Structure 1
Amino acid sequence: MQTALDLTVMLPQSAYDYGERSSGGAHGVVLTRPHVVNLILDLAGYTADRDLASLSLLDPACGHGAFLVPAAERLIRSARRYDRDLRQLETAIRSYDVAPDHVGRARDAVARALARLGLSRSDAERLAGAWIAQGDFLLTHQRRRFDAVVGNPPYIRIEQLSPELQEEYRRRYASLYDRADLYVAFIERGLELLAPDGILSFICADRWTLNRYGAPLRRMLSRWFRIHCYIDLRGASPFESDVIAYPSIFAASPGATASVRVATLSTASPEECEAASLALMRGARARCPGVTVSEYASWFEGDDPWVLSSPEHLGALRSLEARFAPIEAVGGTRVGIGVATGNDRIYIVTDEVDIERERLVPLVMRGDIEDGRIRDARRFVINTFGDDGKVVRLDDYPRLSRYLHAREAEIRKRHIARRSPASWFRTIDRVYPDLVGARKLLLPDIAGSNEVVYDEGRFHPHHNLYVVTSTEWDTEALGGLLSSRVALFFVWSYAVKMRGGYLRFQAQYLRRIRLPPPAALGDALTRDLRGAFRERDFEKLDALALRAYGLAALPPFDFVDTRR
């Protein structure tokens, strides 16, 4: 029998030196809880009441067999119901894993499960060996299509892999865009391998549904596939171990999307998973307190982010987006991020350091912001760029040269230094001294709500702060709008929700904020916004923002109010 390795495009062994591929990181295996696996198998239509021997199931990354064991048990029960010969089952399941020890453990787990169901040891081991192969699923050539594709693909950022593997994956998979996670390619390949009536049902991190790197995959799904259902597990615990992942389950098949049922599970307990299965598969009412189900009459088009909360919330969001322009299209407003150095320990200094003063730029970091005010910690970032945007000549700055050369070995370890050896001492990002004197608004990267701080023109922001500038707005009045619940509503709608209710205030989400034109506010409302922003009167700011947007109220949404 031909093995997966016989069908795989082989790369140098060094290309695979990235540790064990797994959910939640590049090391170790994170197992999906059995009742969550059963829910995923149900959504894929892989149930024992069907003649499963006539179908084919694919698990592209088997790990220790969390999906394969219950799938094999369902297959055997179905085979007995339909009087199938064991020899008819050898092609019913196909699974891969790149790690030999995972393959061994999965085969052993499946063989033991089959033995418990009454199969002889030889039959159990033969089937397990036929079903599970070692190989990189993303590089295998498949000559068949599958009726069910299920699993928990590995969560690994593409840049963590070897250059050879990155190049090959990107060549094969259009979904690997920007700094995509590898699970995106697993979704793309799984969808490609579906039979005309097949269903893919995966549990994976939900970032692709909102982030920029998920845009090509969302576009592919919108054009060619039907979304059957989506389950939000952000607040639940679907894995056997605690991992920093914000998972969801979705099921898709070839076709066009009509209405979609969206469920939210509070804990992903056995009772919640069973109730979700009945509600999503059979249209039953979700009779479990921790399960909510909404019906979306239409789905998202093209590469639009999947904004999933409630139809009421989505309706309010779409209405605002239809009436107002994006933030960067209003009032000469720009959203950016502070400077990344590549080694803050070296490039962020005090004024006591022996470096030419003109090479030091005042810096504000996240920890310098307290109660809406900036505390001057007397920090500076070393500016390795000239006014022309080019890297400076160290010969022109002997004290800077002496400082950097004393730390050269550590500086050269950075990726930017290896990529540009001639300018080995440069910071990752360019420092812009002119930004220091500009009036601007600063927002921390991670927060429960929009903690907007005004800088009248004293500092350059660090990369853990986002910066908003404008040529036409009264900056403090704009700060008042951006500090309101209305502005937060936009970010909350699109941003990845983290545990504890915190949000990532990244530029891609801040740019989703819509604004009225500055002139439309009038002098009185502008003055009131400025005053309430200075006083940090958030209750008043929320009311003023509703007036600015012509709203009576917003749909309720949960967030951690860290503004106060």
Structure 2
Amino acid sequence: MARRLFEGNSPAEGDRILYPGCGGEAPFAKAVEAICREEGYPLPSGLAVENDPGLAEQAEGLEINHLRLRKVDFLGPEMAEEGPFDYVLGNPPYVPIEGLSEEEKARYRSSFQVAKGRFDLYLLFFERALSLLAPGGRLVFVTPEKWEYVETARPLRKMVTGGGRGSANYHVEEINHIEEDAFPQLTAYPSVTAIRRIEDDAAPADLATRIRTRDGTSHRTQLPSGGESWAAAVRGKDLSGMETGLTLGDVTVRVSPGMATGADAVFVFSKDEVPKGLSPKWTRPTVSGEELTHGGASNPQSVFACPYRSDGTLPKESELGAFGEWAARHRERLENRSCVQKTGKQWYAWHETPPMQDILRPKIVFKDIAKEPKFWAERTGEIIPRHTVYYLVLEEGVSFDQLLDYLNGPVAKEWMEAHCQRAANGFLRLQSRVLRKLPVPTRVARERQGALAL
């Protein structure tokens, strides 16, 4: 990363370098000193920022000649006036929104453009570091690759590919996807990103980005602007010919994950071990992702204990009958669920209220995480998928079989491999938000389109 920072951009006397969240060992600062010594470069004046008292104390004891340490919050107001820097080098902390207090979330949302939705702290480090970068300066960060395509990072993608005349903007010079196990304690799919700050009137003619992949290949691409996902461009997929004007979201009533009960150990049984009194009125067949892999959706081996009526309403406790007698044996466990404690749900309800009028229809089901996308038909409309299974319900007039064949075909597979988020070991996350954007051929919806024309 330090060598990439100086590639075609070696330091000169008076240059400044910033190390956000330097850590106790300050490895990036050590690397910079080693490279400058080896290449005969003058050492830039370095500022390391570390807010953790223990790590800051450890860093203070290091013998790093070019370094000054500030024990402040890199995202706080103290840093806003510290720039500009000719170089920024670091590994921002990965802290999801669940790890932040309500006060922190409110403060960050009021101070940072990229603090939208369920933001991660490393996105804010990007924004602050970029704001401190001098014209012509370069930033090199290692982060999870998912900022290239997740919806939460849309404002950051827009920031580094947009910019108006006369205002500062940026060129994403390179994205290098490094080994999956580079951080053994994390499943991060890390990438190293190099970004240069430019002025509009000095923008180079070629703003293509060099992409290095984990299989050792590389290519150059033009990243989409406006914040949209970079996934297809980064993965070298030209899918522009797929656009039909129709998406999966247009031809489906619902693309959703299956039901979470908050206590599957209580509510789910093998179909051969249903407690007496529950079947058949108080049970529904169900299927998990693991069961899909081994048996598809035609013969589920599990059932839900289900208190809900076919219209989705929940009976009063006095109307539960045999279900209530069975559930009472597990009442303490069910009352301790967050949906009861925090949101006031009935103690015998599921964590999520099932949309029975949609879910009890013929549907196409698929696993939420898969090595390769695969879709199964659930034609009976009787099965309620569990939370490891997603399902899609078709609009009237859409051909079930044609859509199923298309989803299992090579064109849709290529699109999903280009756009879906990566999980561990090369698996794909088949998220409904992404799949709704999948282009579909018009032939699957001819009857629906004809009906709309009438």
What TM-score range do you get, normalising by the shorter chain? Answer: 0.7 to 0.9
Aligned partner of 2:390: which letter?
Y
Partner secondary structure for residue 361 of structure 1 = strand
Q: Who is 1:538 aligned against?
A: none
Is residue 85 of structure 2 the alignment partner of residue 101 of structure 1?
A: no
Q: Who is 2:186 aligned against?
A: 243
Q: How many angstroms apart in 2 are the aligned matches of 1:406 and 1:171?
A: 48
Aligned partner of 1:207: which letter?
K
Partner secondary structure for residue 466 of structure 1 = strand
Q: How many angstroms apart in 2 are the aligned matches of 1:402 and 1:97?
A: 58
Name the CA shift for 1:521/1:43 in 2 (closer, same or farther; >3 Å): farther
Q: Who is 1:199 aligned against?
A: 138
Instruction: Map Cα deviations across residues 292-314 of structure 1 (whole Å, 9 max, x no partner).
Output: 33222x33121210025579622
Contact 1:201 1:252 in 2 (8 A): yes
CA shift, 1:500, in A, is: 3.8
> Identity over the aligned pairs, expressed in percent?
22
CA shift, 1:402, in A, is: 5.0
Contact 2:51 2:73 in 1 (8 A): yes
CA shift, 1:415, in A, is: 3.5
What is the aligned counterpart of 2:73 among 136, 139, 142? 136
Q: How many angstroms apart in 2 are the aligned matches of 1:464 and 1:148?
A: 44
What is the aligned counterpart of 1:319 among 233, 238, 241? 241
Instruction: Map Cα deviations across residues 25-79 of structure 1 (whole Å, 9 max, x no partner).
Output: xxxxxxxxxxxx324433694x4x522xx2222222112312122234456789x
Is residue 5 of structure 2 the alignment partner of residue 41 of structure 1?
A: yes
Q: Who is 2:451 aligned against?
A: none
Contact 2:235 2:418 in 1 (8 A): no
CA shift, 1:460, in A, is: 0.8
Q: How many angstroms apart in 1 are the aligned matches of 2:112 and 2:282?
A: 44
CA shift, 1:391, in A, is: 5.3
Q: How many angstroms apart in 1 are the aligned matches of 2:411 and 2:236?
A: 15
Q: How many angstroms apart in 2 are the aligned matches of 1:371 and 1:407?
A: 30
Q: Who is 1:8 aligned against?
A: none
What is the aligned counterpart of 2:223 among 299, 310, 318? 299
Q: How many angstroms apart in 2 are the aligned matches of 1:153 and 1:423?
A: 42
CA shift, 1:172, in A, is: 2.6
| Aligned counterparts, 1:42-441, within 5 A | 42=6, 45=9, 47=10, 49-51=11-13, 54-63=14-23, 64-73=25-34, 92-108=45-61, 110-111=62-63, 114=64, 128=67, 131-142=68-79, 143-145=81-83, 146-224=85-163, 225-233=169-177, 235=179, 237-239=181-183, 241=184, 243-255=186-198, 258-266=206-214, 290=216, 292-296=217-221, 298-308=222-232, 313-314=237-238, 317-321=239-243, 323-330=244-251, 332=252, 334-349=254-269, 351-352=274-275, 355=278, 358-370=281-293, 373-374=296-297, 376-383=299-306, 392-397=315-320, 399-401=322-324, 403-404=326-327, 406-421=329-344, 423=346, 425-441=348-364
Contact 1:157 1:181 in 2 (8 A): yes
Q: Who is 2:166 aligned against?
A: none
**As a proportion of its length, which structure holds more helix?**
1
Contact 1:490 1:512 in 2 (8 A): no
Instruction: Map Cα deviations across residues 457-484 of structure 1 (whole Å, 9 max, x no partner).
Output: 2301111111122122221221111001
**As a proportion of its length, which structure holds more strand?**
2
Q: How many angstroms apart in 1 are the aligned matches of 2:71 and 2:348?
A: 44
Aligned partner of 2:187: which letter?
I
TM-score normalised by length of structure 2: 0.82
Contact 1:184 1:217 in 2 (8 A): yes
Name the CA shift for 1:382/1:431 in 2 (closer, same or farther; >3 Å): farther
Name the CA shift for 1:425/1:519 in 2 (closer, same or farther; >3 Å): closer
Contact 1:450 1:484 in 2 (8 A): no
CA shift, 1:97, in A, is: 2.5
Q: How many angstroms apart in 1 are the aligned matches of 2:401 and 2:225?
A: 36
Instruction: Map Cα deviations across residues 344-379 of structure 1 (whole Å, 9 max, x no partner).
Output: 223334532655854433211112224663264443
Contact 2:154 2:228 in 1 (8 A): yes
Name the CA shift for 1:449/1:198 in 2 (closer, same or farther; >3 Å): same
CA shift, 1:388, in A, is: 6.8
Name the CA shift for 1:105/1:494 in 2 (closer, same or farther; >3 Å): same
Q: Who is 2:392 aligned against?
A: 468
CA shift, 1:519, in A, is: 6.1
Contact 1:67 1:151 in 2 (8 A): yes
Q: Who is 1:23 aligned against?
A: none
Q: Who is 2:441 aligned against?
A: 516
Aligned partner of 1:466: which letter?
Y
Structure 1: give runs of 5+ residues left out of the alignment: 1-36, 115-123, 268-289, 523-564
Partner secondary structure for residue 162 of structure 2 = helix
Aligned residues between the structures: 429
Contact 1:469 1:475 in 2 (8 A): no
Contact 1:437 1:459 in 2 (8 A): yes
Name the CA shift for 1:497/1:512 in 2 (closer, same or farther; >3 Å): same
Contact 1:472 1:518 in 2 (8 A): no
Structure 2: give runs of 5+ residues left out of the alignment: 164-168, 448-454
Partner secondary structure for residue 328 of structure 1 = coil
Instruction: Map Cα deviations across residues 72-100 of structure 1 (whole Å, 9 max, x no partner).
Output: 4456789x866x9xxxx7xx222223322
Q: How many angstroms apart in 1 are the aligned matches of 2:295 and 2:345?
A: 42
Name the CA shift for 1:439/1:387 in 2 (closer, same or farther; >3 Å): closer
Q: Who is 2:379 aligned against?
A: 456
Q: How many angstroms apart in 1 are the aligned matches of 2:145 and 2:162?
A: 20
Q: Tell me how large the CA RMSD over aligned residues is.
A: 3.2
Contact 2:208 2:223 in 1 (8 A): yes
Q: Who is 1:497 aligned against?
A: 422
Instruction: Map Cα deviations across residues 377-408 of structure 1 (whole Å, 9 max, x no partner).
Output: 44333445566766543233255445555444
Q: Which range is displaced more, 500-509 or 383-392?
A: 383-392
Q: How many angstroms apart in 1 are the aligned matches of 2:41 and 2:140?
A: 25
